[in-house]
Structure 1
Amino acid sequence: MRIFHISDLHLGMQLKNYDLYEDQNYVLNQVIQYIKDYQPDCLCIAGDVFDKQIPSLEAIKQYNEFISKIYQVKEDIVVLIISGNHDSGQRIDQYKDLLSHQNLYVNGSLPIQKVVLKDEYGPVNFYLFPFSRPSQIRPFLKEQHDSLSYDQAVHLYLEQLDVDDSQRNVLVSHQFYLPSEKELNSIERADSEVKTVGNIDVIYSDILRQYDYVALGHIHKPMTVKDSYIRYAGSPMAYSISEENQKKQMLMIDLKEKGTTEITSLPLHPLRQVRTITGYYQDVIQETSEDYVRIELLDDQDLNFIDMNEQIRIHYPHVLEITRNVHVDYDMDMDLDTTKIKDPFELICEFIPDMDEQDQKILQDIINEIGGLS
């Protein structure tokens, strides 16, 4: 069975107020061409289909056109879609039962949905696991728990699934998985991703070892989670400056007999690159580019801001930001008024006011643990 794996489309997203509709269509059309060329049996979209829970009409139109083109080039393909943390699970679930009769399976909310496909080697069991918080997972556990971390909740939930190890099994999930021996700060997370305080959303990947392939979404950088069969496809294009050097891709997985899995990276090329240009003002304006660029000027002397800004935007119509590499001297001997420093828990609650009671308890436990180590 041949499977395509993509994720984090973020349809409707803007990059520094630039509409990405044309850029996203350019990349999605490459996905369509790959489907036409390689004829996969199945396409997995591992969450964050839209950038917002209430997507724009233009984003919904783009999604509908993309799905329609998929079936135009391959009528019998099976498409499997889960919701991500940017999506509305209820919106993804619209017409869920009706769509399943058209080989389009969507799962925006728990419980995990199992879809069974077959080839010459027998059944392949797909488990569709949408983005879920511990509070959303708890009602589906066989035993009740008052307080669970992301890691504990997902481990308990996946452990109670009746997965037949003698058959081939594929998990499609949108969460932050990490090898248990990895340091949290060693994983590069893009600026365009939603991050949690203290990375409390981390889930250790040992629970994924029972699957023949794990199609992940959530991390925008293409990466392997320790084992080659546990993969983040990454976003199909760069959605922030922090992604400027990443090579974007779609993954092609050939599942043969049990224990034989071949994985191929299919490159995706952007309409416009996201990149940084560093140099002196007079040198920078000697060139022109349609790319999304961050301009870093090296000039020490004062520049006429209005004229500089206007000239740069003439040469770079998709400029994201302009910064100056100017040295500033700081008074390192100044006194700090420490009486105004608030409690860490209070500060974080002010910064993230919509945390539920479960998240606040986890946060307090982390602060207490760090305080005990210091």
Structure 2
Amino acid sequence: MRILHTADLHLGRQFNGIPLDSDHAAILDQIVSAITSRDVDVLVIAGDIFDRAAPPTSAVRQFNGFLARVASETDAAVVMIAGNHDSGDRIASMAIMTDTRRALIRGAISADEKPLVLTDAHGPVAFTGLPFAYEYAARECFSDEALHTPEDVLAAQVACGRRNIPDGTRWVVVSHAFVAGASSSESERPLTRVGGIETVSSAVFEGAHYVALGHLHRPQSVGAPHIRYSGSPLAFGFDESDCQKSMSLVEIDAVGQTTIESIPFTPIRHVRVLKGRHAELLLADRSDDFIKAVLTDDAPVIDGMKRIRDVFPNACELIYERDEQAPEVKSLTGRALAVANPVEVIGDFVEHVRDEGFSEKELEVVASALGRLRETEDVK
């Protein structure tokens, strides 16, 4: 059986205030093409389908159109779960009136996770979808006040899913978590509300023949080759500029052994860090890529960013190499502290206050205001 493992689409996201609608459209096209050209049996989307709980209408329409294409242009089944950026209820609503023989869509945590069972030439393969849930929701779901960490929650979910897997069935688990030992990126939102240990042990997935993970944005296996992150299809920060984004084509044989092939994504705009003297960078070919310029000039350059944007209209950052030599600061958890995205910080506050995220119009106003602030700082 062939599985195309993807995750962390983050539809509706912006890169430093710049919309990514066209970038996401190209990525979704490439996923559909991979399904058809590689004879994929199952498409897996391991959470963070949208960038926030209340995504813009354009993102919802984009994803609905994508699912319609998968349903009409391919024979692939779909398994997808909600991630920590998603609204579980929104994702769950997509399961209403779907063909349950061809789709498993899990938005809200459940104490009775039933799998989607598909059959190939070697017999049944069971897919269990474990949507992301915070501890308070898990305590209510499982009636267990002893669930205090993400690992406690995931262990309870896996145990519930395992009970519904017939003996001798090959088993695929889809989850959204931070598995200990994996490499993170700056653009990922922590999975704990107030501090705490957010990582989980790969041992909680014991018995699964393949674990399709979401949350971390770099493609990687962790703990064992069959426990894998596909990574996000787009880079969402300059720390990912060196990362080749890909989807994972997984083939499971008769006894549950897996072979994994990475299929690279081709973005329409790359994320690049350019280093050199200001005058040298101005000689480069014009590009719409997202650029972080690291200047090696000894003296400050007048109107540095404005002139860089004549060549790179989507330049987002300009710093001097001498300012990057600050000593490294390590977090107590061993994970690099991420620089908060201002839009996310404001959005989280709004959602906390009124139990509802930004509307599309409100997002435009906030993004516009932040853009004007950034331009003011560039002028200074």
**Band of TM-score, shorter chain:** 0.7 to 0.9
Q: Deviations over 1:267-312 (max 9, x none)?
A: 111111101011111111111322111011111223223xx32211
Residues of 1 paired with 2:221 and 2:325: CA distance? 43
Work out whether residues 251 and 263 of structure 1, in 8 Å CA contact, stay in contact via their aligned partners in 2: yes
Residue in structure 1 matched with residue 123 of structure 2 by the alignment:
122
The amino acid across from 2:321 in the alignment is N
RMSD value over aligned CA atoms? 2.4
Q: Share of identical aligned residues, percent?
A: 32
Residue 310 in structure 1 maps to residue 306 in structure 2: yes
Per-residue CA deviation, residues 4-41 of structure 1 (Å, 9 max, x unaligned), is 11000000100001111111111221111111111211
* Structure 1 unmatched runs, 5+: 331-351, 356-374
Q: Check the 8 A contact 1:300/1:325 in 2, yes or no.
A: no
Q: Which runs of 5+ in 2 are unaligned?
A: 327-347, 353-380
**1:277 aligns to what?**
274
**Helix, strand or coil: the match of 2:273?**
strand
Counterpart in the other structure of 2:289: 291
Does the 8 Å contact 2:219/2:246 carry over to 1? Answer: yes
Question: 1:63 offset after TM fit, Å?
Answer: 0.4
Give yes or no for the alignment of 1:232 onto 2:229. yes
Q: What is the DSSP-based 3-state SS (H/G/I as helix, E as strand, rest coil) of the residue aligned with 1:138?
A: helix
Residue 147 of structure 1: CA displacement?
5.0
Matched, 1:262 2:220: no
Larger of the two Rg values belongs to structure: 1
Distance 1:28 1:120 in 2: 29
Partner of residue 331, structure 2: none
Are residues 1:217 and 2:214 paired?
yes
The alignment's TM-score, normalised by the length of structure 1, stands at 0.81
2:21 is aligned with 1:26: no
Deviations 1:301-332 (A, max 9, x none): 23223xx32211110011011112346999xx
3-state SS in 2 of match to 1:72: helix
8 Å contact kept, 2:278–2:296: yes
Q: How far apart, in 2, do the equivalents of 1:9 and 1:312 lie?
A: 30
Please tell me whether the aligned partners of residues 140 and 157 of structure 1 are also in contact (alpha carbons under 8 angstroms). Answer: no
Query: Quick one: which amino acid aligns to residue 5 of structure 2?
Result: H
SS of the equivalent of 2:262 reads strand
- Structure 2 matches for 1:141-220, cutoff 5 A? 141=142, 144-160=144-160, 161-162=162-163, 163-178=165-180, 182=181, 187-195=182-190, 196=192, 200-220=197-217
**CA displacement 1:207-259 (0-9 Å, x = unmatched):** 11200111100000001012111100000111111111111111111122123
Shift in Å, 1:95: 4.3
Q: Structure 1 pair 329/121, CA: closer, same or farther in 2 (3 Å)?
A: closer
Shift of 1:113: 4.0
Q: Return closer, same or farther for 1:22/1:175 CA change in 2, 3 Å cut-off.
A: same
Partner of 1:5: 5
CA distance in structure 1 between the aligned counterparts of 2:116 and 2:9, rounded to whole angstroms: 22
